[in-house]
């Protein structure tokens, strides 16, 4: 089962992706994790990606796709995967469709977690991140046991710059311009499914399971 998660930043698609991955014993693949893993392991692709990232540039689509297809070749992807954070644009989606088709494969479901902008701004301003271990929390929905302290490693939690309301609004504007067309793309491919992301997280997950099963 090959699944793509769609939704605006802060819609909760990452949380749902992890739950889907755990439920079906398939890997949750995020582009950020792939970049970090390849850079850490000093692979050839990782070195190329690092050159762009060190200059503050976006990693080109072709290299990102190469890294993703390389990740798909791992044994843990034999039964599928949940892809989170890619594709972000129609050209990326088209390139991914072609790369998979060349291997006789295709995406089974593109799940769009629908949340209005206003809800996202409220949600994201409540997020807190641990810069040491990468764990994320929410002061209302997923609070740490001790206020502003990471449950995992005990370091202090911060409100990241990209979770501040003014930044969130900018990110949403980019999302609507670039990524919203993906919804039409996957609708045309016949694999788009939509869920109401404003519900309780467990209800959202139940709705996704109903689609996948």
- Cα separation values, 105 from 19, 79, 100, 151, 178, Å: 24, 12, 5, 40, 25
Tell me whether residue 128 is one of the annotated catalytic residues.
Answer: no
Residues 6 or more apart whose Cβ sits within 8 Å of residue 129: 135, 136, 137, 157, 158, 159, 160, 163
CA nearest to 31, candidates 82, 104, 95, 106: 82
Active site residue 71: no
Active site residue 171: yes
End-to-end CA distance of the chain: 11
* Selected catalytic residue, list 13, 71, 123, 128: 13
Tokens of 27: 């890997």
Residue 37 CA to residue 51 CA, distance in Å, equals 15
Active-site residue, from 88, 164, 187, 193: 88
Which is the catalytic residue, given 23, 36, 164, 171?
171
Partners of 195 in beta bridges: 113
Catalytic residue among 160, 164, 187, 193: 160
Q: Name the catalytic one among 2, 71, 127, 128.
A: 127
Whether 36 sits among the annotated catalytic residues: the reply is: no
Q: Is 13 an active-site residue?
A: yes
Which residues form the catalytic set? 13, 88, 127, 160, 171
């Amino acid at each position: 089962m090959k699944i793509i998660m769609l939704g605006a930043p802060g819609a909760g698609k990452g949380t749902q992706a992890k739950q889907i991955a755990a439920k079906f014993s398939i890997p949750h693949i995020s582009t950020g994790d792939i970049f970090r893993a390849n850079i850490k392991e000093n692979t050839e692709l990782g070195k190329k990606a690092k050159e762009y990232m060190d200059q503050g540039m976006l990693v080109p689509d072709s290299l990102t796709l190469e890294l993703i297809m390389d990740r798909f070749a791992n044994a843990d992807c034999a039964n599928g995967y949940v892809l989170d954070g890619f594709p972000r644009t129609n050209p990326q989606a088209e390139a991914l469709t072609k790369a998979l088709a060349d291997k006789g494969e295709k995406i089974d479901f593109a799940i769009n977690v629908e949340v209005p902008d206003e809800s996202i701004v409220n949600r994201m301003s409540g997020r807190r991140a641990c810069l040491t271990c990468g764990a994320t929390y929410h002061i209302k929905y997923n609070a740490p046991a001790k206020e502003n302290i990471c449950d995992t490693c005990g370091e202090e939690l911060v409100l990241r710059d990209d979770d501040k309301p003014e930044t969130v609004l900018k990110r949403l504007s980019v999302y609507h311009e670039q990524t919203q067309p993906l919804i039409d793309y996957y609708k045309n491919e016949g694999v788009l499914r939509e869920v109401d992301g404003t519900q309780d997280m467990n209800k959202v997950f139940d709705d996704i399971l109903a689609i996948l099963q």
